[in-house]
Amino acid sequence: ETGVTQSPTHLIKTRGQQVTLRCSSQSGHNTVSWYQQALGQGPQFIFQYYREEENGRGNFPPRFSGLQFPNYSSELNVNALELDDSALYLCASSFLFSANYGYTFGSGTRLTVV
């Protein structure tokens, strides 16, 4: 059973640029959720994907967008990067309707915007 893999692990971008973060979900999981975690804070829900469609969104602007692929892997895209986008981005996979199980998290991508 494979876990959740995120890439890259670290990334430095310039303000105004665009970035794509990638996540491969755990085998058997069909749902991917993305979280942003600023330093010293708890993870903030960005959005969730199921069956290649967005299935709920947190309080993030449209420049945060995502994709889910047929193999359940996912991408998070952020356009027009701002300094405040600097954070740890976490991907979590789960099985839809799994009220009895938790998420499996990846190790995260540390994004620094300069």
CB of 36 to other proteins, least distance (A): 11
50 binds other proteins per the rule CB under 8 A: yes
Q: How many CB atoms lie within 10 A of CB 2?
A: 10
Contact window for other proteins (CB under 8 A) among 18-26, 65-73, 75-83, 86-94: 86-94
Q: At 34, phi and psi to the nearest 5?
A: -115, 140
Name the helix (H) or strand (E) containing 55: strand 53-57
- Nearer to other proteins by Cβ, of 11 and 50: the residue is 50
Binding-residue total with other proteins (CB under 8 A): 34
The closest of 30, 85, 102 to 76, measured between CA atoms, is: 85
86 binds other proteins per the rule CB under 8 A: no
